[in-house]
Structure 1
């Protein structure tokens, strides 16, 4: 694990040095060089580009709040989902990383106002993939956090936030 971290750090330093040299030689190419650096360095650290955002699977089983804190420490938030295509891609990421289809936390919560779902990254809650009969609030017992890959239908379910699940983070670059 330490060798991988050192290799990633070394790769990032080399890429940044290259970007700095390009920027000095031609300032107009500086922004393009920076974007190339980000793409090269983050593909090695486990982030996967899906659409215009990067996603990261966290295999560690955490509560929803711990998972959000972990994602924030990585520079993002628990993932928001905005289309069927994006949901399919996130499920593919989970499958590739876990070699299965475990239920996992994403950033949906209605803890601020019951029945009003929001994403922890602040984006619009404009897509839903709820399982039939969900969200059901645990029949009145405050299930305020969103898990994906639920049941054989691999849809969304509201769950008590203290349960431990792997999770998916999202970050823009």
Structure 2
């Protein structure tokens, strides 16, 4: 989709372990650049798990609070935060981005150690 391949990883892992797992496949946790990509990733999760599971994608503000970036280095321009997010709820250090949160299936900042499934993405090279 848009020159990238996405892969849903059902095994729950921390955000850091999920990113290491993606790297082992020469990929990164998925960055999301528009609503069409977001819906495509949601379709992938739904077809694999038969529900809109809360899932890690590649956003983090661990380096500096409220300065979100994508682990793959692409610009963090599109967002789909749930109302009131990101919020470091309960003054906890919530530095990692999960998708499919709440009724709107939007983004939420959560603690990075929580085990969740993940989506990896990498550029696809077409051979003609």
Fold shared by both chains (TM-score > 0.5): yes
Q: How many angstroms apart in 2 are the aligned matches of 1:111 and 1:131?
A: 19
Q: Which residue of 2 aligns with 1:52?
A: 3
Q: Which residue of 2 aligns with 1:24?
A: none
Partner SS state of residue 105, structure 1: strand
RMSD: 0.7
Greater RCO, CA 8 A, separation 6+: 2
Richer in helix (by share): 1
Q: Which residue of 1 aligns with 2:99?
A: 148
Q: How many angstroms apart in 2 are the aligned matches of 1:74 and 1:166?
A: 16
Match for residue 163 of structure 1 among 104, 114, 123: 114
Paired residues in the alignment total: 124
CA-to-partner distance for each residue in 1:112-151, whole Å, 9 max, x for gaps?
0000000000100010000000000123211000000001
Unaligned runs of 5+ in 1: 1-49
CA-to-partner distance for each residue in 1:78-120, whole Å, 9 max, x for gaps?
0000001110110000000111111000000000000000000
Unaligned runs of 5+ in 2: none
Return structure 1 stretches of 4+ with deviation > 2 angstroms.
Answer: none
Richer in strand (by share): 2
Q: How many angstroms apart in 1 are the aligned matches of 2:90 and 2:81?
A: 16
Q: How many angstroms apart in 1 are the aligned matches of 2:81 and 2:65?
A: 16
Q: Which residue of 2 aligns with 1:69?
A: 20
Query: If the length of structure 1 is used for normalisation, what is the TM-score?
Result: 0.71
Query: If the length of structure 2 is used for normalisation, what is the TM-score?
Result: 0.95
